[in-house]
A = this chain, B = another copy of it.
Amino acid sequence: MKSFDYYYEDMTIGRKIDIGTYEVSKEEIIHFASQFDPAPFHLDEEIGKASMLGGLSASGWHVCSMAMRMLCDSYLLRAASEGSPGMEECKWMAPVLAGDTLSGHLIVESARLSASRPNLGLVNFRCNLFNQNGKQVMTYTNLGMMRLRQAA
């Protein structure tokens, strides 16, 4: 059986995991928006600049998806993860603009054993993303299901 670097027992409350960086390109913003969120300020640089967002800004769902890629690359693909039933409290705090470099971390906020499934733990994470100026652009909390190391 495959062994992982992160099991439920590793997600101690307060633990902080760096999730690396993500370069945000104009082409990717427009491509995502064309497919899923075709608002003019996500598609057209001039309209974006003239809007209260101040530039060509990424869809909020695109920013969530970027964060997911950062999580996958930094730890999740090496974790004994069983996915997630949902998330809470997602705040898009500042525009994510073409040319930004995002960085971020997750913090373990709480953890408990599953009442119904032995060998499974439930871990509540907060994910925080920042731009290259240190300004926070997003936060959300996510419930992750993870298998126990002792069961592996």
Contacts and interface: CB of A to CB of B under 8 A. Distances in A.
A88 B85 contact: no
A124 to B, nearest CB: 14
A59 B68 contact: yes
A38 interface: yes
B61 A64 contact: yes
How many of chain A's residues touch chain B, expressed as a range? 20 to 34
A86 B92 contact: yes
17 contacts: A36-B68, A37-B65, A37-B69, A38-B69, A38-B77, A39-B77, A60-B86, A60-B87, A61-B64, A61-B65, A84-B92, A85-B92, A86-B89, A86-B90, A88-B88, A88-B90, A90-B90
